Structure 1
Amino acid sequence: MHENTLHIDGLSKRYGDTVALDSMSFSVAPGEIYGFVGSNGAGKTTTMRIALGVLQADSGEVRVGSRIVDDALRRSFGYMPEERGLYPKQKVAEQLNYFAQLHGLDAATARRNTAELLERLGLSDRAKDKLQELSLGNQQRVQLAAALVFDPQVLILDEPFSGLDPVAVEVMAESLRERAERGIPVVFSSHQLDLVQRLCDRVGIVKSGRMVAEGSVDELRRSGPVLYEITTPATSDWWEPLEGVDLVERHGDTVVLSIGDAPAEGYDDQPLLKAALAAGPVHHFGRRLPSLTELFQEVVSQ
């Protein structure tokens, strides 16, 4: 695999009898956006804090390519924590310049990167304002700028979209896409699964400190329950004689049916269509892939 791939390899962490992480493993390739999702307490933030050196794992390691991550390598990591950690009384541009130089950039490059990022994030007119004078959404944009200003080689973000308005969400999403297009591994956690579905190349679902499902959004959706959406004005429950077919939803003339233990691929849907046609005219018939939200609920409830 590429020498700049981020590897989370077998991380375990316990607090007394509580297992925070249990052999957590995944990889994020350069140019890939990886969605790291799970319920509160599933282990997402613990994993990220270990990757950043804030916590120490009981076992396992974090690597970039074949290099075990040490303090020097972590200086190339951009991190946006869920708990925002900037200086409220310091001016925005001064703060970003400071973080850029703290990560090794010279003063001229730091100023140039700061100006470019503030322009990109729509904050140029707030450069001389104190952070505390900005809205919460704009403060989050500054927090993102702080993670990007020194041109990181790995980007790790914990709930970056939390509390943002739709315009700010798009600005944030486009910034992550731009960094991925430069060949940077990008990993972020989020409870906003519609955004994860739209933005991510691959997704990992975690539960109780373990990775329980992983793959591209399409792979994960196709691995979920087999659902069919059928629109017919038939008033009878025409599907009931069919073995393994159950009603999931009903909206007017449209029903969503689950097909028991049917294989994810290769299911013969013609008997189902024949039964629908026997009950009346069929205006729509097709496979419905579960959304990432539906799949997440299915996986974490098991």
Structure 2
Amino acid sequence: MTAPRIEVRGLTRLFRGGAGVRGIDLDVIAGEIHALVGLNGAGKTTLMRLLLGMLRPAAGAVRIDGQPLNTADWSNVGHLVETPLAYGELDGRTNLMLSARLHGAGADRAARMVGDVLTELNLTRYAAVRARRMSLGNRQRLGLAAALQHRPRVVVLDEPTNALDPAGVILLREALVRRAADGAGVLVSSHHLDEVARVAHRITVINAGRVIGTLDPRGVDIERSFFALVHADDTPADRSPR
């Protein structure tokens, strides 16, 4: 049996005050777009930082393509968490070339990858523009381009539609569908239910740092179902005397 692209078991990391994640179990399989949804502060970003090795868990384990984090092949991982990483004084093409080379691409292959992704995300006109002069939306596209250009087997994106205009959202949606069709496992966090429902194969709901249920992307009233799950989780059980 093929290992999941991402496998999370019992993942726990708590911060002072109680925020964090508690006992998270999650799988992302090859060819799948798996959406993680929750309200602000639910623990989505913390979970993504943990499974990328940016934070150390207090308990639990993460495997990437069947390997623990310390031996995972990071050249086959693409991610964007919180804010796009770009050198402000460098132009778009140079930023992407650096990212491609850091992911192990030789000079010729890197140049082809950069050209392809600039076209795919409609960034060609900004290839010679310094990142610090780009709009927030185009900086976001640049970060997404860096995460996707090397055709990684594992894609982890935290609120990837932030600052994107409608055209950018559509381009991203199409790019993710292509990556999944090529066999990547894609994990996307969002609080835009209508958008993730368009592309997700599975939707997992997280609240107060715990997985509390799943949603059917093809459901009729997915937003109502989401809030029903969250409300039920936030409502204390009836402990009145019987």
Same fold (TM over 0.5): yes
What is residue 28 of structure 2 aligned with on the other side? 28
Q: Which amino acid aligns with 2:175?
A: S
What is residue 178 of structure 2 aligned with on the other side? 178
What is residue 112 of structure 2 aligned with on the other side? 112
How far is 1:81 from its partner? 1.6
Decide which of 288, 294, 299 is 2:224's aligned counterpart. Answer: 294
How far is 1:193 from its partner? 0.7
What is residue 48 of structure 2 aligned with on the other side? 48
What is residue 148 of structure 1 aligned with on the other side? 148
What is residue 237 of structure 2 aligned with on the other side? none
Percent of aligned pairs with the same amino acid: 34
Q: Which amino acid aligns with 1:62?
A: V
Closer, same or farther in 2 for the Cα pair 1:50/1:75, shift >3 Å? farther
Q: Which amino acid aligns with 2:78?
A: G
Deviates most, 4-13 or 177-186: 4-13
| Helix, strand or coil at the partner of 1:25 | strand
Q: Distance in 1 between matches of 2:172 and 2:166?
A: 10
Deviates most, 20-29 or 130-139: 130-139
Q: Distance in 2 between matches of 1:152 and 1:65?
A: 11
How far is 1:72 from its partner? 4.5
Deviates most, 71-80 or 176-185: 71-80
What are the Cα deviations for residues 17-48 of structure 1, in whole angstroms up to 9, with x where unaligned?
A: 51511111110111100110011111110110
| Helix, strand or coil at the partner of 2:36 | strand
| Helix, strand or coil at the partner of 2:170 | helix
Q: Are 1:134 and 2:64 an aligned pair?
A: no
Closer, same or farther in 2 for the Cα pair 1:197/1:156, shift >3 Å? same
Q: Which amino acid aligns with 1:24?
A: I
Q: Are 1:98 and 2:28 an aligned pair?
A: no
What are the Cα deviations for residues 76-102 of structure 1, in whole angstroms up to 9, with x where unaligned?
A: 210112222211221110110011111
How far is 1:140 from its partner? 1.2
The 5 Å alignment of 1:208-227 reads 208-214=208-214, 216-218=216-218, 221=219
Q: Distance in 1 between matches of 2:36 and 2:109?
A: 32
| Helix, strand or coil at the partner of 2:115 | helix
Q: CA RMSD in A?
A: 1.5
Structure 1: unaligned runs, 5 residues or longer? 222-288
Paired residues in the alignment total 232
TM-score when scaled to structure 2?
A: 0.91
Q: Which has a greater percent of helix?
A: 2
Q: Which amino acid aligns with 1:293?
A: E
What are the Cα deviations for residues 131-183 of structure 1, in whole angstroms up to 9, with x where unaligned?
A: 12222222111111110122212000000012221111100110111101100
Q: Distance in 1 between matches of 2:160 and 2:41?
A: 17
Closer, same or farther in 2 for the Cα pair 1:19/1:133, shift >3 Å? closer
Q: Distance in 1 between matches of 2:134 and 2:171?
A: 17
Contact 2:151–2:179 (Cα < 8 Å) also in 1: no
Contact 1:52–1:74 (Cα < 8 Å) also in 2: no
Contact 1:158–1:190 (Cα < 8 Å) also in 2: yes
TM-score when scaled to structure 1?
A: 0.73
Contact 1:53–1:71 (Cα < 8 Å) also in 2: no
What is residue 197 of structure 2 aligned with on the other side? 197
Q: Distance in 1 between matches of 2:108 and 2:154?
A: 23
Q: Which amino acid aligns with 2:213?
A: A
Closer, same or farther in 2 for the Cα pair 1:297/1:21, shift >3 Å? same
Deviates most, 174-183 or 72-81: 72-81
How far is 1:3 from its partner? 2.7
Q: Distance in 2 between matches of 1:180 and 1:293?
A: 25
Structure 2: unaligned runs, 5 residues or longer? 233-242
